[in-house]
Structure 1
């Protein structure tokens, strides 16, 4: 169909151009997308903002970020959608240099960000450990009153501070949230786990239960890892058993792998081996994924 549209010169206006580029994205045909881009440029059809949006989006989807940047750089007006799309692309590829450049450029141009752009900016800061820029983003969130209005923004901010080791800031944000879900609690718990504060991990977990928030599988992955690294094998066993008995969560491969680590560190190789044998016999767990996770345990 795309070949026919080009052959018959159907890409004659912006609407047709946008449709064909979106089609290229959906069928993962970058070659055809570039061909249509060139044809549209020849016909003078790429000066419309909506066309630029789709072009940048197409190149980001394919991971052709240099091409996306070229389109972005020639624009006189850049909507917040374009900034966010390009930043998300660099974040997806963990391109630290370009993430930093784009975040700095947003600051210099005093770009006002919506919730999506703020979340994307925090995730980008987390990738490169840019806590100074993250604090500017945090200030913008506070000015706009988004901590009180949008839980996802608050959760992302807690997650960023936790992963960057800013444990004093994460609880500050947490206390300002009017509503806290399992993601809020788990992100805060992860922050304590990152710095080896197993007592705080356990304390926050108990507080979460008192707040009548049910843990999820990710919560237990973090808790088991934190307790295991401190050699708290009895505590780890209790948490592991409580997953199914108290919370209806069936332990998955990552949970079993962490328990293997717990028992190995405690010197209880018999129990560690029993779990490994259980994993090997279970059809739910593939040998390949088990080997990979054992290597990173």
Structure 2
């Protein structure tokens, strides 16, 4: 039977058992177990007059275990409300929180519960209520201010969070570590570097960075998110202490900004300090290796990961490893790694499938897709987009349509613009332009990507009018073209000679300042003017480009070569080399054609013979064909024949057709018959060779031979 006694606890016991929570104003006493230091805590408020008396069990010295002494304790009713309100915040139960607010207000407990209520409202997203309650507080403390700041930050209102922080300081309330941590995250989200630097200064002045590594790491993260990676690195070096999280933040920042060598350098420094990398560290440096195509370094890191058996428990790291090998072009190695992973998910497979699709190994991409499905993994939007790219590359419309059905059944088009673009592109690449247009028109939301895919295919298939029409319709829908869209539209303008529309697009590109660093767009602009015959305009644009590559030069050279301006072409060759740009096979092909148009056969032959020596480019098929045409047009059939004889392999119909065409021009029967026989050995079903040979015989009065070739063409079903 329990014995009830009044509350009498010795001062020594009180000193040993009391803890004071200065933030909440609650004193916590304890219920002690006899003869031990164990205690069960309870709380009571020692200010104000709202107390209720409750009995609590206590085991006292001299009593047997199991015997209880009931002690009357003072219990503040607001404590229970505070606990319930905090529960509402954690559970996002706003309605219950509002009811509790009404209760405490009726009972006159609002002052004691307001901090908890502000926190609850902030967590539930009722930021207006939280702010209103804060304003009504007689004394606003750092806890309430921080709750409101955190609420704004967590609900995507970072600018308001910063304003509240400024108001808090204007009222003379000093931020604590929690406040600073939240505000630094706000600065990172807003990319507000100046605000972040101001907070950094306050942290240093208050001495918070001396013993709070977590706050230090949040500071580093703020600088990284603001793109101030150099400042982040300097800050890390100045920190009194740093841990693996500090280094991970910096390494990930360098990788995200494309400073891959610096990321690897930090990785080395971190290890030199004796800090062992985590899976996150390895994932970041593997990404850097992939971007740099540094496969040797990637393999070293792979060995280190394997030595510590980190792949056994981290699928994200396994995915990073597969991605590194894919980006380095080592697809077989990537597939081997994937097969040996203890577990793999849809991301692992999608990475490999994407790699195969990007390098044109569509069959292998589809094989991986089937294998992934056999493992019971469901594709996501990214997987489907990669597989659709593979289907388009090899014209596998059957598989593409099946994927389209799966996508529709799963409703994925509602959530993925990339997938919609991939579908449009797949149908277009398979030659089903009407289907591509139909799918595009039915998309839940048409994006810049889907319009660009459609415009690009129309332009590639020389349907320039349709491409321009789509471009205008896209703009009418309020979508802003990107560089790829503009490039495709310019190609379409060049195809149909629409120079007026091309100039309009040029003006729009200039207004948006897109030509600054986009070489491909500059090339498209030069090409459009070339194809429209506006060579001087093309030259003017070319000279204004701040960045140009060998393709830019080739576009200009090809345009002037086509109109026979060989002197200008030769001058361009010298100028591009002076810029440090080396001619490639296409450049030299343009050079040879320029010489051919001007009848400069000997000059063309000199360039041809010195290609390897002077430019480090061996003759390609296009160069042999150009020389055969040059000699053939000039009537030097013996020299053209010698060019063919000098080829490493002459089993190319294009070469023999060029030679046979020259024989027709000069009515040369012997060389013509030889070229014809080579052609029908390569492809006896192509009617072109038969027709040319018939014309040669007919032009020289050899009608019987012409009829014989015609009969041969019919027997071989040539067409």
TM-score band w.r.t. shorter chain: 0.7 to 0.9
Deviation at 1:224, TM superposition (A): 0.8
Aligned residues: 287
Tell me: CA distance 1:146–1:240, structure 2 relative to 1, closer, same or farther (3 Å). same
1:203 maps to which of 565, 568, 571: 571
Please give the secondary structure, in 2, of the residue aligned with 1:185.
helix
Match of 2:553? 185
Tell me: CA distance 1:118–1:96, structure 2 relative to 1, closer, same or farther (3 Å). closer
Structure 1 window deviating more from structure 2 (145-154 vs 263-272): it is 263-272
What do the CA deviations read for 1:139-164 (whole angstroms, capped 9, x no partner)?
12211222222222112211222233
Deviation at 1:262, TM superposition (A): 2.2
Distance 2:400 2:642 in 1: 54
8 Å contact kept, 1:100–1:128 = no
Tell me: CA distance 1:77–1:239, structure 2 relative to 1, closer, same or farther (3 Å). same
8 Å contact kept, 1:21–1:58 = no
Say if 2:398 is the partner of 1:34. Answer: no
2:534 maps to which of 135, 150, 166: 166
Distance 1:251 1:258 in 2: 11
Please give the TM-score of this superposition, normalised by the length of structure 1: 0.81
In structure 2, stretches of 5+ residues that fail to align are 1-368, 663-719
Higher strand proportion: 2
Match of 1:95? 463
More RCO (CA 8 Å, sep 6+):
1
2:441 maps to which of 59, 69, 73: 73
What do the CA deviations read for 1:226-269 (whole angstroms, capped 9, x no partner)?
11121112222232233122112111222122222222333434
Distance 2:388 2:574 in 1: 50
8 Å contact kept, 2:562–2:593 = no
Match of 2:590? 222
What do the CA deviations read for 1:174-230 (whole angstroms, capped 9, x no partner)?
111223322222211111112222222222223223333221111111111111121
8 Å contact kept, 1:25–1:62 = no
Structure 1 window deviating more from structure 2 (88-97 vs 21-30): it is 21-30
Deviation at 1:110, TM superposition (A): 5.5
Tell me: CA distance 1:157–1:267, structure 2 relative to 1, closer, same or farther (3 Å). same
Higher helix proportion: 1
8 Å contact kept, 1:198–1:227 = yes
What do the CA deviations read for 1:5-32 (whole angstroms, capped 9, x no partner)?
8xx9x98xxx757745754653564334
Please give the TM-score of this superposition, normalised by the length of structure 2: 0.36
**Computing the radius of gyration over CA atoms, which structure comes out larger, 1 or 2?**
2
Match of 1:249? 617
8 Å contact kept, 1:25–1:33 = no
Distance 2:597 2:527 in 1: 21
Deviation at 1:171, TM superposition (A): 0.8
Say if 2:656 is the partner of 1:291. Answer: yes
Tell me: CA distance 1:74–1:243, structure 2 relative to 1, closer, same or farther (3 Å). same
Distance 1:250 1:294 in 2: 21
Distance 2:482 2:585 in 1: 31
1:143 maps to which of 503, 508, 511: 511
Match of 2:21? none
Tell me: CA distance 1:81–1:293, structure 2 relative to 1, closer, same or farther (3 Å). farther
8 Å contact kept, 1:163–1:194 = no
Deviation at 1:294, TM superposition (A): 4.5
Please give the secondary structure, in 2, of the residue aligned with 1:168.
helix
Distance 1:23 1:244 in 2: 41
In structure 1, stretches of 5+ residues that fail to align are none
Please give the secondary structure, in 2, of the residue aligned with 1:146.
coil
Please give the secondary structure, in 2, of the residue aligned with 1:147.
coil
Say if 2:521 is the partner of 1:157. Answer: no
Tell me: CA distance 1:24–1:172, structure 2 relative to 1, closer, same or farther (3 Å). closer
Distance 2:593 2:403 in 1: 50
Say if 2:638 is the partner of 1:270. Answer: yes
Tell me: CA distance 1:106–1:196, structure 2 relative to 1, closer, same or farther (3 Å). farther
Distance 2:661 2:469 in 1: 32
Structure 1 window deviating more from structure 2 (49-58 vs 86-95): it is 49-58
Distance 1:212 1:19 in 2: 41
Deviation at 1:128, TM superposition (A): 2.7
